[in-house]
Each structure stands twice: as structure tokens, then as C-alpha cells.
Structure 1
Amino acid sequence: MDPIDIELASRAAQLDDRPLPKRVGLIILATDHTTEVDFQRLVANDRIGIYSTRIPYANPVTPDNLRAMQPSLTAGAALILPDEPLDVVMYSCTSASVVIGDAQVEAAIKSAKPSAAVVTPTAASVSALKALEAKRISILTPYTVETSRPMANYFLGRGLDIIRFTCLGLTDDREMARIAPSEIVKFAIEAMDPQSDALFISCTAVRGAGVAAEIEHVIGKPVVTSNLATAWQCLRLCGDSASRPLLGRLMTLPGDRP
């Protein structure tokens, strides 16, 4: 067979600065089933790209196992589009952000991506609750009492009053991801104290973002979930201020800007 003639184009291709104008990096647990799905639905669009990496994590969900992820944060961030800047990096673990600390998470990520804004579910949720003018809150977590207690202290330490705190006692984040949305709604209704200004549903594994608006309709108060809060903050940091009331009250608020 005669070789096929392959011609080199007469000119070099003109390149865009980026395939998409904005880049959001996700650092997620090796066992995570939920964050990427939520962020593709809530954040990704024709202006914002989602780029993720996974870091080692070993169940059960305990403060010690959560804290053990800290050494992996810098290397994980470096693997997201190596040598290219990101606009935002989000570390997708609420309970680990509590035990490691927001500032320590930010420092570890900025070691690899110094120009990126850093988002944690904990700090984003506090910002969301304050944007909703919520001072007294109810909290629902899938964790054990042991893992929930540091979270209670975290929110108390940021000036929020906890009226009711309910936990489900699970120790495996893969099981947390398997809680049916209909079950989340039922537990949320039970967990909400009528004297609270808002309900916070913790854990990036829990599929609460998709039913937040439904829960709000029943309880008559705002609902903040870990993934809804981080998606909201990432969108606003990327300059996307679109109001999306069907996703819940939080997604109608302006929030943080670049």
C-alpha cells in the first residue's frame, strides 16, 4: 500500500487563552460519590469549567481519619491542571475542614495554587447563613456524635446559636451518599426547630443540595447544605451572579465577588 500524503497546515492555529474563561478545581475524597455530580449540575456552564482531583481517604469518618488528609491537600491541588492557574479551589469535606481548620486548608492549597481563591464547605456555609441573616440555626449531619461535636463547636465559635442538632450516626461516607433524597427531606423536617432561622445540612457526600428548595417549601425557612453553599460561593467568585430560585433561597443572593 502506498503511503498516504499528510500535509502540514499552512499556518499555526490561533489559540484561546483558555478553553473556558473560569476554572474551578475540586479536591475530593477518593470515596466521594456526590460532589462532582452536584458541581456539574450547579456550577458548570459555558463559562465555568470544573476540574477535579481525588485524594486518599480511609473510612470510618472519625476526627483522626479526617485530619489525616491534610498532608495530601497540596499535592492534590497541584494535580489539577498542573502549572496552570485556577480561579477557585474547593476542598470538598465539611467535617475535615472543621478538624483541620479553614486557614490550614487554605494555606495547603495556596502552596500549589497561590492565585486561587480557596473555598471550604464550613466557611462557605457560615457565609451563606450570614447572607441569609440566620443567627439561630438547626443542624442535621449524617455523622456520629463524636464527629458532630467539633462541628457544633465550629458554628458556635462563629457567632451562631444552635437551637437543635441532629446526627444520624453513620461512619462511612459511601453510606452517607446513599441516603435517599426523600429520606433527607424527612430527616430535615424532623431536625428543624421552629425557633431556628435556617437549617444547615452538613456533609458533601449527602445529596441535600437537590432537595433544599423542597425542604424550604415545607419548613418555611432557608436551607443551606454543604454543596449548595460551596457551589454558591464558587459561582459568585467566578462572577456568576445569576439568581436561581428553583435551587433555594441561597441561590438568589449575590454573595462573594472576585
Structure 2
Amino acid sequence: MMKIFNVQHQQPLERLAPAGRIGVIALATDFNIEMDLSRMYPDDVQFFTSRVKNINPLTIENLRTMAPGITETAATLLPGTQLDAIMYACTSGTIAIGVERITQLIQQVQPNVPVTNPVTSALAAFDQFKAKKISILTPYTEAVNQEVADFFSNQGYEVLSIAGFGFEDDTAMTYITAQDIQDAALATCDEEADLMFISCTALRASLVLDTLEAKLKIPVISSNQALTWHSLQLLQYPKRVTGFGRLLLQKHL
């Protein structure tokens, strides 16, 4: 005859991720965001991912089709559990949909939770280094790059150069090697730039940030590095993170 028992825990329940819990809204096709965040987040911070449907090819019009799904996706992030911050993890999507709109869509179902995105994070990073003149590297087409350059120009930055790999497939962007990212950044960064920004959460740029900064002698910011840094700022995380560029060594805002 089977025996059935009730047991009681003897130790106090542990709070997992004692330093903070971060919700991540990733694109359905993004291979890279979780790998990058796993490399950069400290062990006492955890992130939890839900994915929003997106459409290839990557165009501004197709990026805007994500907007209706953002609220539904945000609602699936650890329902019933308090999150300390939420990120929408698409740089070009943020430019296409708009920073304020994305925050509004998320906070409809996650009220009072701080929200960030790659654009807000990047702008905060630019300000951290007092950068005025920037070079940008992306995986995007010329049409999307024009929108990206116009956005940052309208924010008051002088975009000295923008270069793109010309990809329209979001998944394929992740297949661009770290070596190609490094070589392209070195080849296209303007010598007058105060800072270089490598745009797109799908690019594995975190692997070459230290090397690029050593060679270029300026801060190099990537979308995922900026998201990591800014979300840690929202948590008021006290420690610095080494191995991924100068930004993660900076103090709180």
C-alpha cells in the first residue's frame, strides 16, 4: 500500500536572486541576449525571459508590429512575483516604437516596475562618459541605419559615422562572429569619435569590448552591456563588473 506524507521545511525559505530580479522581454528570434546577460550579470542577480513575436525582414515597419505583443509578453514575466526592473531588449525596435510607448505598454501589466531598453541605456551611458561625437556599428541595412542615425542626431549627438553589416534576418545577426564585429569596429570608428556604440542585442559584442577599448582608446558601448549596466543602476547594485568594458566599472548614476 502506498504511503503518502506531508513534510515541513525546517529552514527559512530562501529568497532567490537576493540582489534583484530582472524581467527580460526578448525577441522571439534572438539567440544572443540570454548568453550575453549570463556573462555579465553578477551571481546574486537573476533575469527571467519572455519572448515577443517579431517578423523578418528587419525593417522599421515590421519592428513596429511588435508593439501589440509587448504588454502580453510582459504579463508572463513571473506572474505574482515582484520584479525589480524590466527591460525590452531590442535597440531598433525601441527606436521604431518609441521609448515612452514601450514603457507604457509594459507598465500596463507591471505597474511601478522600472523599465529600461537599449536606447535609454545607451543614452545614459553616453552621458556617463560625456560623449558628444559618436560612431555606430550595427548589423542593419542602410534604411534602418538611417533611422538609427537620425534618432541619435535628434538627441543632440553628432553621429560621425554609422556602418552596418546589411542583415535583414534577426536570427542571422547572431551568427556574425566576434572577430568580424571587432574588425568592423576598428575599421569604421571615426578617429574624432568620443565613443563607439555597437547597436543590436543580437550581436555578440560583449566578447570584444575590452579589446576594442584598448585599441580605440575610447569607451565602447554595446546594447547588451548598456542594458546590463543600466538595469544594475535601477537596482542600485553596489558592485562593479569587470571584463566587459569601462561602462560596467562606473559608479551609480
With the shorter chain as reference, the TM-score category is over 0.9
Alignment match, 2:250:
253
Shift of 1:156: 1.0
Residue type at the aligned position of 1:30: A
Residue type at the aligned position of 2:85: V
Shift of 1:143: 0.4
Shift of 1:243: 2.4
Distance, in Å, in 2 between the alignment partners of 1:239 and 1:158 is 26
Alignment match, 1:157:
154
Q: TM-score, normalised by structure 2?
A: 0.95
Alignment match, 2:3:
5
Shift of 1:44: 4.7
Alignment match, 1:209:
206
Alignment match, 2:59:
62
Residue type at the aligned position of 2:117: T
Alignment match, 1:79:
76
Shift of 1:138: 0.5
Shift of 1:248: 0.7
Structure 1 window deviating more from structure 2 (246-255 vs 185-194): it is 246-255
Residue type at the aligned position of 1:167: G
Aligned partner of 2:127 among 127, 130, 135: 130
Aligned: 1:190 with 2:187: yes
Structure 2 residues not aligned, in runs of 5+: none
Residue type at the aligned position of 1:175: A
Label 1:13 to 1:137 Cα distance change in 2 as closer, same or farther (>3 A).
Answer: same
Shift of 1:10: 6.0
Distance, in Å, in 1 between the alignment partners of 2:188 and 2:145 is 14
Instruction: State how many pairs are aligned.
Output: 252
Residue type at the aligned position of 2:22: V
Distance, in Å, in 1 between the alignment partners of 2:17 and 2:187 is 42
CA contact (8 A) 1:77 1:109 kept: yes
Aligned with 1:165: secondary structure? strand
CA contact (8 A) 1:232 1:255 kept: no
Alignment match, 2:225:
228
Shift of 1:19: 2.4
Alignment match, 1:37:
35
Distance, in Å, in 1 between the alignment partners of 2:128 and 2:195 is 11
Aligned: 1:101 with 2:98: yes
Distance, in Å, in 2 between the alignment partners of 1:245 and 1:39 is 14
Shift of 1:41: 1.4
Aligned with 2:248: secondary structure? helix
Label 1:8 to 1:128 Cα distance change in 2 as closer, same or farther (>3 A).
Answer: same
Structure 1 window deviating more from structure 2 (151-160 vs 243-252): it is 243-252
Shift of 1:9: 3.0
Residue type at the aligned position of 2:36: D
Structure 1 window deviating more from structure 2 (231-240 vs 107-116): it is 231-240
Structure 1 residues not aligned, in runs of 5+: none
Q: TM-score, normalised by structure 1?
A: 0.93
Label 1:191 to 1:255 Cα distance change in 2 as closer, same or farther (>3 A).
Answer: farther
CA contact (8 A) 2:161 2:190 kept: yes
Label 1:149 to 1:255 Cα distance change in 2 as closer, same or farther (>3 A).
Answer: farther
Distance, in Å, in 1 between the alignment partners of 2:9 and 2:48 is 31
Aligned with 1:147: secondary structure? helix
Distance, in Å, in 2 between the alignment partners of 1:92 and 1:233 is 12
Alignment match, 1:23:
21
CA contact (8 A) 2:52 2:70 kept: yes
Supply the RMSD in Å over aligned alpha carbons.
Answer: 1.6
Aligned partner of 1:241 among 231, 238, 241: 238
Shift of 1:234: 1.1
Q: Percent identity?
A: 34
Residue type at the aligned position of 2:211: E
Question: Any runs of at least 4 consecutive aligned residues in structure 1 with deviations exceeding 4 A, and if so which?
Answer: 10-14
Aligned: 1:92 with 2:73: no
Aligned with 1:162: secondary structure? strand
Shift of 1:13: 7.0
CA contact (8 A) 2:21 2:83 kept: yes
